[in-house]
Every structure is written in structure tokens, then in C-alpha cells.
Structure 1
Amino acid sequence: MDTEPKFFETNPTAGVVGQPLNRVDGRDKVMGRAKYSAEFNNLPGLVHAVLKTSDVAKGRITGFDTTAALKQPGVLAIITHQNIPKLAKTPNDAEGKKAIGAPMGYLPLTDDRIHYAGQPVAVIVADTLERAQYAAALLRVQVAAEKPLASYEDPKAQLFDPTKIQDGKTQAHVVRGNAQTAFAAAPIQLTHKYTHAINHHNPMEPGATTAHWEAPDRLTVYESTQGVTRTQKALSTMLGLSAEQVRVVTKYLGGGFGCKGSCWPHTVLTVQAAKFVGRPVKLSLTRPQMFTSMGHREDQTQTLRLGATNDGKLTALIHEKTSTTSPWDNYAESNSKIVNMLYECPNFEASYQLARANVMTSTFTRAPGEAPGSFALESSMDDLAYQLGIDPIEIRLRNYAEKDPSTGQPWSSKSLRQCYARGAELFGWSKRNPKAGATRNGRLLVGWGMATASYPVHNSQGMARARLYADGHAVVQSGATDLGTGTYTVMTQVAAEALGLPVEKVRFELGDTKLPTAPNSGGSVAAGTVSSSVYMAVQDLWQKLIKVAVLDKKSPLYRAKLTDVEAKAGRLQLKANPKKGEGFAALMKRADMADVEGNGQGRYGSGYEDAQAAANADPAKKDEAAHHSMHSFGAHFCEVQVDPDLGTVRVTRWVSVHGAGRILNAKTARSQIIGGSIFGIGAALMEGTVRDQNLARYTNASLADYHIPVNADIPDMTVEFIEEHDPYINAMGVKGIGEISMVGVSAAVANAVFHATGKRVRELPITPDKILGTKAV
């Protein structure tokens, strides 16, 4: 098909899509049949590898004492920078990093330098995991240690202007209007600093790689990754192989949150170890190694200056961010993007400062930029509301953006007003006492807070394949990844509805580079891209059957025009006379077709709108046709109870309402919002990795010491979606929800804490010491 049809025109009635279907992979998971990347244990001759990591954060390796380790039974190899197999390309220079798509501009074991604590310095391979671990403990590494830098807060740290951030993808300087002049003239001026702790992703499943060289030039890797295609590209480039020579498989993933979105050093080190010993090798990171192996959300301070009129209209926003980066990369989350687009404001300015330190490169963490950026913006909006005596929802409505302030483009769809109204109704916001510190439940202080959420639609595309069998079952495939959030299930629903088959007659396969290419499951692009790809593949399949039908003398559709025939509920029929038609099974039986296959490409975001515009617009105005700004929007409402003597904060009620396009599964979507909200509550109240400022080492690199929420910390949560049709974003009208669920959460909690106590905490996490040590403002 030349153009992608608009889903709402071709499928106007509700079917299995949107229903709260139970997870199709649920039984396999609870029965232990779901194989994760560290569970392919039947490979011939499988052996085990562990990493030996550096105890110091900066220095030079002067030697190894391998004597005791190599004497141990079962030890097959100790691999260091001195003997590791060479790679065709490494990320250690700009050209190599770009070609690989590496998240970090340095690969351990390529030289004798130590740049950060926890850096791998050796790989130990043995016939059992326990023997490899013991040998690693016996290995002695001689190091000439040097004094490290721990963060941008170090007095010796040198701040610099990166010009661009996120590997050069994002401008570090943005100016719209004249924010400095507007701020100076504003009758209301607010200037505050907001500090965000280091956060680590800590998915339930640690990073794991199982590498099997099936031939000298053919590799299969079972990898814990959010994107098999991206990992395939990285590995094939580093190894000097074609993509077809490297197969990457990820059938199940135990969470990722961004840390598994790239190919990190441990993966290629495992591949090199397997080449070295000539046997399949499995390596699983330990929990402490997860803190120094797969990135993190960087430590950062934001300064936000807000100018407004006496009636609360924004006139200026000036955002500055300072954060820590690695010795090689200019990575920083783009916090300013959400500050620039969320509210109507004529003047905006953003800038970034970085400081190099002895840490690994940080990486995208759920809602990268939007989550910490919204903490600063939404806290400041709350401050503005209190200073002027205006309700927090009203202050946001007074600054409601009818079009994207950052681009001037109209929204493809926006249901934020409805999110405010419905959230307020569900929460009972009208009963809120506007005075801070005035509501109690016995001796506990009670506070209500809210915040806005938004997340952009990122441009993406992918492929899918659908095969329909004459016996009435179908297999649909795409090289996507299911992070555990329901991709298997929702794609089964999309395929079943498009094919007109019962769900139990459809099998969806994913997580293999042998399947049609799909994007990473990250940036909230997977649902919109893969669902559209699946839908398009089924449409291609139907077009092939329609061509067979109109040429079949025994078909009721014989000699009908192709454009006059449609497929509905597994049946081919005339659009003008639906009674005239037949089911696919009868047609395929007469044509002696055992099966029929369709292939489709789905586009998500501006790429989809561009394609539609190119197909439908006036040829003289094609460049002007695609022009929408695409975002999901929502609102979070939070109640907290604060113990004034202990400083403890508990979230006791929660409401989230979102407008996020078409919802593929009401149950899994609700779970996504709940999960993201819990993630944000963790960041707000307890999560923070502590880096020793003298040694540049983490002091709480375990789940015993890095606190995350448990069930007892979370109340029942109310989640609703505003029905929203968006014809511009993709063929299915689907927006992602994995990230927006976290945006604004920490601000909603902080705003509730302020309402409870009259104390504004601007440093995350909001721990008891900050409650007890903060003066009322």
C-alpha cells in the first residue's frame, strides 16, 4: 500500500483492542517457562564468566598476579587488556562511538587506565559460576592510584559549556524571546535551585549476556536488552562482521527503564571471552555491579527563574542546569525541553553546564529530562500559586498552552484540561483547604498536591510480518522487546482485531533479530510503532487475498474493484453491500493456499505525519503540510501524611489521569501508569545513590541500602484515561505511556508535602532530615 490508512476511518468500532485482556505470557512467567537471557543453560559446553572490577576510581594498572587464580580447578581463562581479542572498532574515538551507537566513549580492557570505580579490569572464565567467582577473588591487580574527582560539587571540578548535550543530539542553548529582560521587568520574580540525587534504574533482572560463537564468523547472543536491533548493530560493528552474522535474542526482559537501552561494555566483553575460550559464555552482573555497569541518572542541580504578572501569567522562564558527566562524554538529560513547552510563556532561555568526574557515563533513565525538569517547573508553579493566593490548578489553566510554545505548532491532540477536571473530581480537590499546614489527621499533617505531566512523541519506524493460515490461526512477528509491560499481549490484541480472529488463535513473536526490524523499547515508542507495523502487515495480507478473490470466478467478489472491497472480522466483503462477500478460509481453500503473508512498515510521530502529508497535500505546499507538535498529557494528584516529629512522609492517596491516544489494553495501560507513578514516588521520597566525594565510590550499591518503594509504601491508586483520537501520530492513534507515568510525580509529592507542612523541599529525595531541617517558606 502506498500510504498508511488512518485507523479510525478503517476500524471505527471497538473490538478486542482496548479490552483489559490478561497477559498472554503470564502463565509462562508464573510457571517458570519464560526464558530470560541468563537461562539458556543447555548450550553445548556452556561456561561462566565474572567481572573483576576496580576498587579505585582513577589510576593505572601496573600488573596482575594471576598465579593463585589460575591454579584453581575449572578456571579456563583470565582475560585482561594484555590478552583480550582485538576488536575491529571501539567507541574510544568519536568516529567509533558514532558507528557503534555506544552509550559511552570508552571501552574497558582496551588499555591500562582506570577511569571510574567499578570499571572492569579483567574477565575470569571457569566451568562453574562459583569457581569463576573464587578465582576473581584471588586475582590480584596492582594499581597506581590517583586522586579522583567525584562530581561537579568538587571544588576542583571545572565547569564547562557543552554547547550540545546527549551526544550532540540536543542544543544546550535555547533562546526564545528575551527572557532576561522580561524577568527583570516582571512584578513577580521567583528564583530557586532544585537538586536531584543520582538515581539508578535497578530493574529486577540484572544485565546478563550469554554469547555463543556457532562458527568463527557467526555469533548468537542472548542478551538482556531493550533493543535487539541496536545491540546487533553495536556488536557487528565492533566485531567487524555484517549484521546478518550476529543474531541477538531477547524473549523476556525483567525491566529496563533505560539502562538496557544500549550495548554496554559487559556485553562485548562476554562475546570476546567466548571467542577467547572457544565455548559459549554466560555473564550476569551482580547487583553492586549494576550500579557501575549500565549508566544512571546523573546528579544535577537546576536553577529556575520564573517571571509572572500579578494575575499569574508567565512572562519569562530561565532554566540553568549543572550536572556531572564522565571523562569522555557530554551527556546530560535535556531537562529544559519540558520547561520550554508545557505552559504559555513568551520568553524562554536554557543553558547547561557540565563537569567531568571519575564516573561512568550517565544514560537515559525513565522520562529522561522530563522527570527532573518537571520537578523544578511544577514546584515553581506551585510556589507562584501560593504567592498569589491562586489554586494550583487555576494557575496552570491561566497559563494553558493552546499550541506548543517552543515551536508555535498546533498540538496533534491535547486533553490536558479534561485531565485536570477529571483528576480533581476523582480526588475531591474542591474540598482542599488552600492554607498550607492547616490540615491534620490526628497528630499527622495532611497535604494535597498536584502536577502536570507531559511526554513527547518521538519519531520512529519499524516492520512486522503477519502470516494467516487457512485453518484459522495466525503468527505475527516483529523484532520488538517486551520489557515486562505487555508488548506480547497488546500486539496479540492488535493482530487479532485486524485479522478478525479470536485472541487464542494468534501468536505474536518478538525479541529476535531474525524477525522484522523494530525500534528499541524506550522513549515510549514501542507501542505506537509496533502496533502500527502489525496493523499495516495485516492490511498487506488482506490486499493479497482481495486480489485473489476478485480474480476467482467462484467468489462473490469476482470482478469487483479492489478499492470496493474491505476486510472486516475475517471476512472479505463489498463496502457498499457487506452481505456480498465470503470468509478468508473458503477463499484460501478454493485457491489451495495453505497460508498468506503480509509485511508492513509502521511509522510513529512526525515520520507518519510527513508520509500522510506527502500523499494527500497540495504538491505545491507539501513542505508546509506536516506541522503538529505531538505529546501525551496528564495530571497527578497526591495526598501525603507527614509526621511532624519524625519527618516521615507517606503517600496515602493517588490519582492519575492521562490523555495518551488510543489505549491498547486497559489493564496493562493502568499497570504502566501505576508502575511509573511508583517509580516517581521512589525518586521523590527515598531513592538516591551516594557517591563518596573523596573516593568517587558508591556507598550504597545494593538494594539493602538503595531504598526503593515496596507495597507497604504505596496506597491504592486510581488511574483513568481520557478518550483521545489523534489522527496524526500513527495508523493506530497510539501514544506511548511508559514515560509520562513518571513525569510530574516527584513534584506532585513535593507540592503535597508543602501543603502539609508549609515547608518547601527542593532537594530530592525528600528524606526526614530535610523535613525536620527546612524552615517554613
Structure 2
Amino acid sequence: MTGARPRVDGPAKVTGAARYAAEWRAADLRHAALVTSPVPAATITAVDTSAAERVPGVVAVFTHHNAPRLRPPVGAPYGGRLPLQDNRVHYEGEPVAVVVAERLEQAREAVGLVRLDYAPLSAETDFRAVADTAVPTPPARWGPADTTVGDLAAGIAEADVVLRAEYSTAARHHSPIETSATQAEWRDGVLTLRDATQGVFNVHAVVSSALDLPADRVRVLAEYTGGGFGSKGYVWPHQVIAAMLARELGGALRLVLTRAQSFTSHGYQPPTRQRLVLAATAEGRFTAIRHDSLSPTSTYGEYVEMTANGSRVAYACPAITTTHRVAPVATVLPTPMRAPHEGPGMFALEVAVDEVACELGIDPLELRLRNHAEVDPTSGKPFSTKGLLACYAEGARRFGWADRPRATGSLREGDQLIGWGMATAVMATMRFPAAARARLHADGRVVVEAGCQEIGTGTYTIMPQLAAEVLGCPPEQVVLRLGDTALPRTGMTAGSSTTLSVGSAVTAAAEALAARLALLATGDPTAAVRLDGIELTVKNGAVEVFRLDELFARLGVDSVAAGGSWEPRENQRSMHTFGAVFAEVAVDVDLPVPRVRRLVAVYSAGRIVNPLTARGQMTGGLVWGIGQALLEKSTTDHRLGRFVDKNLAGYRLPVNADVPDLDVAFVEEYDPHASGIGARGIGELGSVGVAPAIANAVHHATGKRVRSLPIALEDLL
């Protein structure tokens, strides 16, 4: 572990000095507001914008009749239909008109005066109702849709216990504090976007291709993004609209989604129906696992929630079959949400494991230990590193699992039934190519540059730590510039990939800078260097100390820079992060509302660069898991084809009163295969395994088995 360093961007965020996409000013700034479809599928038969155009301050109203024509976007994931290009509606909330005005209030007033007539078309928003139309999905970017190893039928025949059960998870929305916003400026033939995004290069690729602009005439910036959790990873219609209209009208234009629009404008986590077959011998050895998943996609595009990914690697089993199917419905395209795939999928698997443990009369932790996988059971590859056994042991010790009574309902405090449950956490490791640049100035400042994003994960803190570690200087001497397509290219901030990918590139850039400094100072690029303020110490047999201002003056430069890059290499190892989550839940006898009293979680995730920011990520993930388990659900009115609660009053999220003591720890680990710095991703792992641990604790308390999320009071009556 490198060291616990507080967040350097904290003061800027709490004082308001940090500027987000919608907080940049321009003298000629205009405001755009969306008109969205109230129906899930229709043909627009008539448009009347005359009343809206008469509102004082309104500059223009755009519909499919007069909007600029666009080209199909390429180069990055795009989650919507091209906006305002035809008279068809494919989901409730789809943009059908845009008002541009001098002031935001004027634009919003005019939105209510745009009149459109719709001829409704047949639309289904319940994926279960069209389950028979589901088809095998093509291989997704997260792996093959279906996998099979071993003889499933033989494994089932060999078993003493065979569980067959159906599990379900609810639709959920990301709900970041900052609603999505784009400020676009068209000046002198160059388009500049300040965007709330998880991927500036994704926005650059989509916008430049859709608007048919040369790449060097588009620049995207995102110095701060106020949370994304997946919703700002893909590019969506509102970003294209802002860019399109800024070019059309000239000057600056800002488009900010309302909270209600954020429920229909940039994806959501789709609900799932998962069917599990889990077979085991009387001794507790798994002989067969089958995990079949069904989830919705949109009628105009495809997204696959790969919920069975975890079942492919979690346990040693000779026969494992997984399938994924998607059913098209009239909603906006689903998208990854912390934690995609394994988040909803491990709920089903880990509750099923608990059910088998109860049936066999084996302690749930002991059953997992008996089926620990030493190699990836589906691919046969060894894991890059895996400290799951240490996670089990340390988590059980911290929680006091050894004192857990076997019988349900046997722990009680007054009117409270107490339950203890646990679950395994597994998350695939995503990696992206990345580049970085490091520059040392004569005054001792080190500026690291990389085009990645800060979405609340601590990037401004971690990258300087990594560079400082190489250069031997205090982290305070290093600053990071990010979020700009003019900087070295990186991947999007998603899939828990930034620290391991960009961090590896930053380390490479710092090493290159150190070698160049050694070469300039002594002629030997292999000499060891250490930087402290404006003093550069070089050890090359003897120890020499140089003042940077004098050295640079002699060289005739005011700074020295070097670049570095990192590319994930294909190898013969399976890369995942792991964890063990233990939960204590209390359920009132008369009003059976589950309350989480404590969570203990221990993780195996490679090298932990900054334990302080890492703990923040994992505690945030645990809170997400509480929300998934007990609160979050986006209810759809299938008669109207729309989400019902498009606000934070109806969509329930955990608050302080819902969050108990959280005990988070990491096992010591270094993974040389996953990245150049020994790290794997952690940001999403923290939300995996929490919901099943809570559900298993509820069963231990009440004896009632819940197989759907969120757990509702009526499930326990």
C-alpha cells in the first residue's frame, strides 16, 4: 500500500471552487430545454411551435422538421437514437423538440407551449410479457452470452440436493447528485464541449462523427463530474443535441437535464429474471450450476445485463452452464450501473448457495470454503491473484461468525429478531489502454497530464501519489491535469478501470521523466533520482545534488517532459476481484421492516494505492448494496409505458439512518498480471455481495426466504 492521503480535491468541492459542466459562464450563453415524448411508442402526426416561438427571449424551436441532419455515430458506445431526425417515438422521455432561449426560465416556459400530436403505436414495457420473443444474444463486450463446461445432466444426477429457484432484481436508476449537463460553444469553426461525462474521448468520437466534423475541430472537457455510476459512460442524445444546436446557432449553449429527465435520458439498470439450478452432494460439493438470465433491452438497440458472469468463476464445479437472453421493450436503452452484471447476478447465486447450505445443514461459510475455486472453473485459467480465502477468514474473525447459531430465529433482542448472513463478492477486471505525460518545471512543480475523468473516485489524489512515488518527491509537489481530449488519451472512467489503467501510464511517464532527468544531469539514464522541491538528487555511484533552476538554465529549457503509456496484454490468466461480505440484520416481530445493523467486508483487489480513498469507495459501494437490497426500485406503469417515480421523493435511496457501522478491510496483495502498478479495480466491487448477505441474514432472522429485490415489508408478513 502506498499511503493514506486525504482527497486533494475536497476543499475545492466543498467551497464551490470546483466548477462542473453547468457552471461555466459565457457572455453569449443561451439555454436549451427539451420537449420529451409522454408516450412510449408513436408517430408524431402534427407539430405546432408558434406559441412557443412567441415567448420573449426564445431564439428558436427545433423539431424533426428543421433540426440539422446527423450521421450515424461511430467510435464509442451511443445509447440513444439520433435525436430529432424523424417523426417516430421509441420510448417515453425521448426528445421530440428543443427550445433555445436567452434565459432558462424562458426556455422552460416555451417547452410547455410546444404542441405535438401523437398516433400511438403498440408498445410493451414489461419484459416478462414478451419473454417468448427473447433471443440468444450475440457475444457482448463483457464476454460470450452463453457458456457451457462439463456435463450438466450428469452433475445433477450425481447430486443429493438439487435447488431449482427463480430470483429477480428490480429496475434501478443511477441518480447522481449532478444531473447530466452539456455546455457547447461554437467559435471560429471549433466546437468545445464542457460535459458531465465519464469519457471525454467517447463524447469526442460520437459528436465529431455525428456532426461530420474533423476530429481536430472538436474538444471535450470535464474537469469534474458529479457522479456517474455508469449513467455518464455512454453518449446520449442530449449531448449530441447541445453540440448540434451550438454549431447551428453559433456561440455558447447550455443544456441541463431535469431530475425527471435523468430517469429517461441516459439509461438505467434493467430488471432481471434469473433461474438457478444448483446441485450438490451430501458432503457439500457442487456438481452442477445452471444460471439462465432474462432482462430487457430497448426496441432500437441492445444491451445485455450479463448476470451469470459471476456464476462462471465463483465456485469450483465440474459442470457450469450460463445463458443470457434479452427481450425488447419500449424504454430507453439500459446501460451499466454500479455494479453491472455481477451486482444483480451474485444476488441470485449467493442466495441459492445459502439455500443449499440450509438444506444440507452446513454452515454457509463452510460450504463456500469447500467449493473454493483454485482456478477459473469455466476457462480453466489460473487467477492472476486471488486472496478470497484470506477475505473469508478475516471477515469471519472481524464479524464473529464462529458464534453464529445454525437455527433460524434463534437470535433475539426484545422484539427484534436478529439474523447473520454472508455472501461472496466477485467482479470482473476491466482494463483500457492509457497514456500520460509528466512535466517537471524549474520551480519544482511536477504536472501530470492524462485525459481521464474525476467522477468522485479520488483520481486527483491517486495519480500524483503514483508519480511522486517514482520521483521520490512529496505528493504535494505533483498536480494532475485531466478531463481534456487535448491531453494524452485514456479510456472512460468505468468498470473500475481508471486507477489500474491510467495509474500504470502515469507510473510509466514518471519513470520516463526520471530517466530523462538522470540522462540530462549525468549522462546515465539508469541513475537513481530523487526530487525534493527544486533539488534533484542523482545517485550514480556518487551522489550529486542539482538545483533545478541552475540545471535547466544550463540546458536552456524551463521544463522537462516525458510520456508514458500502458496497454493491457492478453495473457493466460483470469482476472477478477473478490470479497467476503457479512451482514447483521434486525427485523421487528410486529412490523417486519429489515434494518441493517452492521456490515463487515474484506476484499482481495490487488495493490491498494491509497487506503483512505479505497475505503471511501468500498463504503460507498456497501451503501449502494443496502439500497439495492432494501429500497431501490424504479416502478413502471405498464399501462402508460412510463416510470412512475421520476424524482428523489419517490425513488428511495439510503440515507444516514439506513447506514450502520461499516467495517472495511483489504488483504495484502500485489497483482503483477493485471496492471503495471499491481492493482485491480475496486470501485464497483463494494456493491457486489451486499444484497445477498442481507437477504441471507433476513432468512436467518425470520426463516422466510426472499428471492426478489428490493426486500419489502410484505415479503416478511
Whether these two folds match at TM > 0.5 is yes
The whole-number CA distance in structure 2 between the counterparts of 1:644 and 1:188 is: 32
CA contact (8 A) 1:342 1:401 kept: yes
Q: Which residue of 1 aligns with 2:594?
A: 649
Q: Does residue 384 of the first structure (1) align with residue 356 of the second (2)?
A: yes
The whole-number CA distance in structure 1 between the counterparts of 2:594 and 2:281 is: 34
Q: Which residue of 1 aligns with 2:405?
A: 433
Q: Does residue 36 of the first structure (1) align with residue 9 of the second (2)?
A: no
CA contact (8 A) 1:495 1:506 kept: yes
Structure 2 counterpart of 1:713, from 658, 672, 675: 658
Q: Does residue 85 of the first structure (1) align with residue 68 of the second (2)?
A: yes
Structure 1 counterpart of 2:45, from 62, 67, 75: 62
The whole-number CA distance in structure 2 between the counterparts of 1:659 and 1:583 is: 42
Q: How many residues align?
A: 713
Q: Which residue of 2 aligns with 1:153?
A: 128
Q: Does residue 533 of the first structure (1) align with residue 505 of the second (2)?
A: yes
| Structure 1 residues 567 and 106: CA distance shift in structure 2, 3 A | same
Percent of pairs with identical residues: 43
Query: Which SS does the other structure have where 1:33 is aligned?
Result: coil
Q: Does residue 116 of the first structure (1) align with residue 78 of the second (2)?
A: no
Q: Does residue 27 of the first structure (1) align with residue 11 of the second (2)?
A: yes
1:198 partner amino acid: A
Q: Does residue 178 of the first structure (1) align with residue 166 of the second (2)?
A: no
CA contact (8 A) 2:595 2:658 kept: yes
Deviations 1:11-57 (A, max 9, x none): xxxxxx7322111111111111100001112x231010111011111
Deviations 1:586-643 (A, max 9, x none): 6445434421101000234xx2xx5xxxxxxxxxxxxxxx312111111111111112
CA contact (8 A) 2:607 2:679 kept: yes
Q: Which residue of 2 aligns with 1:309?
A: 281
Range with greater deviation from structure 2 (308-317 or 492-501): 492-501
Q: Does residue 209 of the first structure (1) align with residue 188 of the second (2)?
A: no
Deviations 1:519-540 (A, max 9, x none): 1110011010111111111111
CA contact (8 A) 1:472 1:501 kept: no
Structure 1 counterpart of 2:56, from 54, 73, 76: 73
Structure 1 counterpart of 2:714, from 769, 772, 775: 769
| Structure 1 residues 68 and 279: CA distance shift in structure 2, 3 A | same
Once the two structures are TM-superposed, the CA of residue 566 in structure 1 deviates from its matched residue by 2.3
The whole-number CA distance in structure 2 between the counterparts of 1:146 and 1:567 is: 69
Structure 1 counterpart of 2:212, from 240, 250, 264: 240
Once the two structures are TM-superposed, the CA of residue 105 in structure 1 deviates from its matched residue by 5.8
Gaps of 5+ in 2: none
Range with greater deviation from structure 2 (588-597 or 497-506): 588-597
Q: Does residue 46 of the first structure (1) align with residue 29 of the second (2)?
A: yes
Once the two structures are TM-superposed, the CA of residue 162 in structure 1 deviates from its matched residue by 2.9
The whole-number CA distance in structure 2 between the counterparts of 1:102 and 1:341 is: 27
Once the two structures are TM-superposed, the CA of residue 506 in structure 1 deviates from its matched residue by 1.5
Once the two structures are TM-superposed, the CA of residue 384 in structure 1 deviates from its matched residue by 1.3
The whole-number CA distance in structure 2 between the counterparts of 1:394 and 1:589 is: 67
The whole-number CA distance in structure 1 between the counterparts of 2:14 and 2:201 is: 28
| Structure 1 residues 693 and 184: CA distance shift in structure 2, 3 A | farther
Once the two structures are TM-superposed, the CA of residue 504 in structure 1 deviates from its matched residue by 2.4
Once the two structures are TM-superposed, the CA of residue 568 in structure 1 deviates from its matched residue by 4.1
Once the two structures are TM-superposed, the CA of residue 505 in structure 1 deviates from its matched residue by 1.9
CA contact (8 A) 1:647 1:767 kept: no
| Structure 1 residues 66 and 225: CA distance shift in structure 2, 3 A | same
The whole-number CA distance in structure 2 between the counterparts of 1:668 and 1:524 is: 13
The whole-number CA distance in structure 2 between the counterparts of 1:456 and 1:641 is: 32
| Structure 1 residues 189 and 157: CA distance shift in structure 2, 3 A | closer
Q: Does residue 634 of the first structure (1) align with residue 607 of the second (2)?
A: no
CA contact (8 A) 2:173 2:268 kept: yes
Q: Does residue 697 of the first structure (1) align with residue 654 of the second (2)?
A: no
Query: Which SS does the other structure have where 2:260 is aligned?
Result: helix
Structure 2 counterpart of 1:598, from 544, 562, 566: 562
The whole-number CA distance in structure 1 between the counterparts of 2:609 and 2:547 is: 25
- Correspondence list, 1:339-350, <5 A: 339-350=311-322
| Structure 1 residues 501 and 350: CA distance shift in structure 2, 3 A | same
Q: Which residue of 2 aligns with 1:746?
A: 691
Q: Does residue 128 of the first structure (1) align with residue 128 of the second (2)?
A: no
Q: Does residue 137 of the first structure (1) align with residue 112 of the second (2)?
A: yes
Deviations 1:177-221 (A, max 9, x none): 1213322332210011011100111111111111111123x1000
Q: Which residue of 2 aligns with 1:620?
A: none
Structure 1 counterpart of 2:374, from 393, 398, 402: 402
- Correspondence list, 1:492-511, <5 A: 492-511=464-483
Q: Does residue 688 of the first structure (1) align with residue 663 of the second (2)?
A: no
The whole-number CA distance in structure 2 between the counterparts of 1:679 and 1:434 is: 28
2:114 partner amino acid: L
Range with greater deviation from structure 2 (757-766 or 157-166): 157-166
Deviations 1:512-564 (A, max 9, x none): 1111111111001101011111111111112212222334xxxxxxxxx544x
Deviations 1:469-520 (A, max 9, x none): 2221111110010111210011121122222222222111111111111111
Structure 1 counterpart of 2:168, from 179, 195, 212: 195
CA contact (8 A) 2:191 2:247 kept: no
The whole-number CA distance in structure 2 between the counterparts of 1:273 and 1:46 is: 12
Query: Which SS does the other structure have where 2:13 is aligned?
Result: helix
Q: Which residue of 2 aligns with 1:254?
A: 226
Q: Which residue of 2 aligns with 1:580?
A: 543
Structure 2 counterpart of 1:732, from 677, 690, 702: 677
CA contact (8 A) 1:636 1:656 kept: yes
The whole-number CA distance in structure 1 between the counterparts of 2:695 and 2:546 is: 58
2:63 partner amino acid: T
Q: Does residue 319 of the first structure (1) align with residue 291 of the second (2)?
A: yes
Structure 2 counterpart of 1:353, from 325, 346, 352: 325
Query: Which SS does the other structure have where 1:511 is aligned?
Result: coil
| TM-score using structure 1 length | 0.89
Once the two structures are TM-superposed, the CA of residue 158 in structure 1 deviates from its matched residue by 4.1
Q: CA RMSD in A?
A: 1.7
Structure 1 counterpart of 2:136, from 155, 162, 176: 162
CA contact (8 A) 2:518 2:538 kept: no
The whole-number CA distance in structure 2 between the counterparts of 1:584 and 1:448 is: 61
The whole-number CA distance in structure 1 between the counterparts of 2:139 and 2:326 is: 9
CA contact (8 A) 2:79 2:235 kept: no
CA contact (8 A) 1:497 1:569 kept: no
Once the two structures are TM-superposed, the CA of residue 278 in structure 1 deviates from its matched residue by 2.2
CA contact (8 A) 1:149 1:157 kept: no
Once the two structures are TM-superposed, the CA of residue 583 in structure 1 deviates from its matched residue by 4.5
Query: Which SS does the other structure have where 1:689 is aligned?
Result: coil
| TM-score using structure 2 length | 0.97
The whole-number CA distance in structure 2 between the counterparts of 1:718 and 1:102 is: 37
1:183 partner amino acid: I
Q: Which residue of 2 aligns with 1:7?
A: none
Q: Which residue of 2 aligns with 1:5?
A: none
The whole-number CA distance in structure 2 between the counterparts of 1:397 and 1:22 is: 37
Q: Which residue of 2 aligns with 1:556?
A: none
2:685 partner amino acid: I
Gaps of 5+ in 1: 1-16, 91-95, 552-560, 611-625, 773-777
The whole-number CA distance in structure 1 between the counterparts of 2:67 and 2:650 is: 35
1:53 partner amino acid: T
| Structure 1 residues 273 and 589: CA distance shift in structure 2, 3 A | closer
